[in-house]
Amino acid sequence: MSTSRTVLIVDDEDQLLRLMTRILERGGKRVLAAATGDDARRLFRAHRAEIEIVLLDVMMAGGAGAETLLPEFLAERPDLDVILTSGDALPEALEILLERIGGRFLRKPFGPRSLLPLLEPVESKRPDPAGLSSLADPGGG
């Protein structure tokens, strides 16, 4: 029986997606990789029970980044372990949501020594379903 964690990586930068996949597979993780929002949705639906961690790019081509995909994934799996990645600072609404669900942020560029420790199991934190509303109302009102 394997103790490997299944990770869904969503990033539209092909070279980075391949690199993260190699790093995680070498680290003993089972990786599902998606370069588009549509691919991410398909993989998530097909493997929702197995996916333990979502490593999600904040900004993706076509607008299918974290602000779009994360609420969809959490609606189906509120127990997901979430790591958002970006070369820029997080939008305030995503910062608030990450805090509420116990998620983490990893600034690009990063290396294996930064990435792998974040994928180790953390204490289970049940997301606050109200956290999803912060994305619908970025003004916080």
Q: Helices (H) and strands (E) in the chain — how many of each?
A: 6, 5
Q: What is the pLDDT along the chain (141 residues), one digit of tens a residue?
A: 345 889 999 999 999 999 999 999 998 999 999 999 999 999 999 999 999 999 999 999 887 889 999 999 999 999 999 999 999 999 999 999 999 999 999 999 988 889 888 887 654 444 444 445 445 444 444
Residue-level pLDDT at 70: 95
Q: Which helix (H) or strand (E) segment is 85 a member of?
A: strand 81-86
CA torsion through residues 99, 61, 29, 76, sign: positive
Residue-level pLDDT at 119: 83
| Contacts by residues 20-25 (CB-CB < 8 Å, ≥ 24 positions apart) | 20/55, 20/115, 23/112, 23/115, 23/116, 24/115, 24/116, 24/119
Q: What gap in Å lies between CA 73 and CA 3, rounded to an integer?
A: 23
Cβ 110 vs Cβ 138: under 8 Å: no
CA Rg, the chain, in Å?
A: 14
The pTM score is 0.83
Which CATH fold would you assign to the domain 6-119?
A: Rossmann fold (3.40.50)
Residue-level pLDDT at 123: 47
